[in-house]
Structure 1
Amino acid sequence: MLDENNQLIQCIMDFQSKGKTAECSQYQQMLHRNLVYLATIADSNQNMQSLLPAVSMDG
């Protein structure tokens, strides 16, 4: 997904550099959806970590 996001950003930058801002919209929406998805996963992982007991490394 990170590679896909990189490609989306490149497309957005290419269109913007050519003054074709209207064409950027669909790519921006796709990038936004991917970023929200990744943030949701990161948030759920963080929440899971807070529920797990601390692991002692003393032993």
Structure 2
Amino acid sequence: MVKSADWRERFTTFYSRRPHPVFARVPGYARWSESDPYYPPFEITLKEIDLIVDYVETLRSPE
């Protein structure tokens, strides 16, 4: 995915992209659905997402 031109946007908004809203919980954002997730839900903050994106950016190969 990091080779995609929009990889950063995809990483920073993964929690709102299907199927992630079912099991990814971000404080301050409403649940996407009241149905039970098919995978154990987890909570992640926007700050934690930013830290992950910063780390992933260090893994990119030089172009």
Give TM-score scaled by structure 1 length.
Answer: 0.37
Larger radius of gyration: 1
Give TM-score scaled by structure 2 length.
Answer: 0.35
Which structure dedicates a bigger proportion of its chain to helix? 1
